[in-house]
Amino acid sequence: MIAAAAGRLFAELGYDRTSMRAVAAAAAVDPALVAHYFGSKQRLFVSVVKLPVDPELIVAQVVLGERGGAGERLARTVLGVLEDPAGLARITGMVRAAASEPEAAALLRKLITRDLYGPIARALGGDQPDLRANLVGSQIVGLVLARHVVQIEPLASVEPDAVARALAPVLQHYLTGDLASGTITL
Amino acid sequence: MIAAAAGRLFAELGYDRTSMRAVAAAAAVDPALVAHYFGSKQRLFVSVVKLPVDPELIVAQVVLGERGGAGERLARTVLGVLEDPAGLARITGMVRAAASEPEAAALLRKLITRDLYGPIARALGGDQPDLRANLVGSQIVGLVLARHVVQIEPLASVEPDAVARALAPVLQHYLTGDLASGTITL
């Protein structure tokens, strides 16, 4: 209950404006209980904000299949996770917190390079897999921020399928293209 | 002096953790003076955080020249602004604040769609110019967040020129490509 309430508040208010007291109120428990179980707000955040999906499953889904389709599979997987309200809440919470909180930024760095996009880039066999993972992460974090946090229009209202089609070749370029040529080579 | 101090603190600490009192201390003035001139923290933020460059100049720089080179010109212009410490501080401040503050998010929306990338997309004559502007904005905001706020490696340390080359075809795709095809068409 505490974890669910904390996850919701972090997503809605961002890290800075979520207080331990507000989490306790939303979970209808005594603030002392939140402090007892989670210690600090940083520890509460890191325990609560986990990926809504198993990273290994996502990596397998994207890597299996034709190499030239990896960008599209990744785009569709990400858009699918963001369609699920629970997934969306956790991911927006993570991105918002990473913008202001060093501990959340460290979590996001680990997720992008070690758990998610790094393994995908490595499995696809391009050079500079960590840089590729970072570039993929920059576009996906930027999408979450623009579409779901800043809610810029029309991007915020466009069908997920249309967003996936616009992003697919970009992610493919970052994963397997020639990054140095200045042109697209998929 | 107050504006310069506020700009620096918003960039370093983010919106939420910058107080009117800290701005006054950094500017070596009485807090009452800050309140007198700027009213609320929101008003201080909106007066202080302006683009470090003239949007019309950027639009002209990107739009003039071969249409197929617009993505590269935009990438180089953005990376150039981010190389300048004053430009970097204002832009990171803006992106961090937009992640937690509705008024800053509104500012970013206006900047992306009305002042900067919207006019570029319209001048280049593609369909759905506002959606194109949003997609360009999502990648640039994501780059600022990943490279300069979250400071993910190796992206944070890569030469600006290499980043510009990796991004150029992506921005070109968003500006002039076929967004619905799922493949790159520049």
- Provide DSSP, A165-185: HHHHHHHHHHHHS-TTSSS--
Show residues of chain B in contact with A15, CB under 8 Å: 100
The ipTM assigned to this model is 0.86
Q: pLDDT at residue A3 above 70? A: yes
Q: What is the DSSP letter of B69?
A: G
Q: What is the pLDDT of residues A102-139, one digit of tens each?
A: 888 998 999 899 999 999 999 999 899 999 999 999 99
Reported as a pLDDT band with limits 50, 70 and 90, residue A52 is confident
Most confident of A5-9, A147-151, B39-43, B181-185: A147-151
Q: What distance in Å separates the CA atoms of residue A48 and residue A50, rounded to the nearest whole number?
A: 6
pLDDT of residue B26: 93
A95 to chain B, closest Cα gap in Å: 8
Other CB atoms within a 10 A radius of the CB of residue B178 amount to 16
Asked if A145's CB is within 8 angstroms of B138's CB, the reply is yes
- Does the pTM surpass 0.80? The reply is yes
pLDDT of residue B17: 80
Higher pLDDT residue, A176 or A10?
A: A176
Q: Which two tokens stand for residue B3?
A: 């504006």
pLDDT of residue A114: 92
pLDDT of residue B184: 57
Single-letter residue type at B33: L
Reported as a pLDDT band with limits 50, 70 and 90, residue A184 is low
Q: Would you say B136 and B78 are in contact if contact means Cβ atoms under 8 Å apart?
A: no
What distances in angstroms separate CA B27 from CA A185, B1, B32, B47, B100, one per listed residue? 51, 6, 12, 16, 25
Please choose, from the candidates A171, A28, A17, the residue with its C-alpha nearest in 3D space to the C-alpha of residue B170.
Answer: A171
Q: What distance in Å separates the CA atoms of residue B1 and residue B135, rounded to the nearest whole number?
A: 36
pLDDT of residue A147: 97
Reported as a pLDDT band with limits 50, 70 and 90, residue A77 is very high
Percent with pLDDT over 90 in chain A: 58
DSSP string, A42-80: HHHHHHH---SS-HHHHHHHHHSS-GGGHHHHHHHHHHH
pLDDT of residue B185: 53
Torsion of CA B15, B148, A124, A115, to 10 degrees: -50
Q: Which residues contact B2 (CB under 8 A, 6 or more apart)?
A: B23, B24, B27, B29, B33, B34, B37, B38
Asked if A182's CB is within 8 angstroms of B186's CB, the reply is no
DSSP string, B91-133: HHHHHHHHTT-HHHHHHHHHIIIIIIHHHHHHHHT-SSHHHHH
Q: Which two tokens stand for residue B58?
A: 């950027």
CB-nearest to B96 from A100, A172, A186 is: A100
Closest chain A residue to the Cα of B105, Cα to Cα: A150
Q: What is the mean pLDDT of chain A?
A: 90
Q: pLDDT at residue A22 above 90? A: yes
Higher pLDDT residue, A99 or B145?
A: B145
Q: What distance in Å separates the CA atoms of residue A24 and residue A6, rounded to the nearest whole number?
A: 8
Show residues of chain B in contact with A113, CB under 8 Å: 152-153
Taking each helix axis from N to C terminus, what angle separates B85-98 and B102-110, rounded to the nearest 10 degrees? 120
Show residues of chain B in contact with A137, CB under 8 Å: 142, 146, 152
pLDDT of residue B87: 83
pLDDT along chain B (186 residues), means of 10: 86 81 93 88 78 86 94 96 86 86 87 93 95 97 96 96 96 94 62
CB-nearest to B169 from A100, A158, A182 is: A182
Q: What distance in Å separates the CA atoms of residue B61 and residue A31, rounded to the nearest whole number?
A: 55
B25 to chain A, closest Cα gap in Å: 21
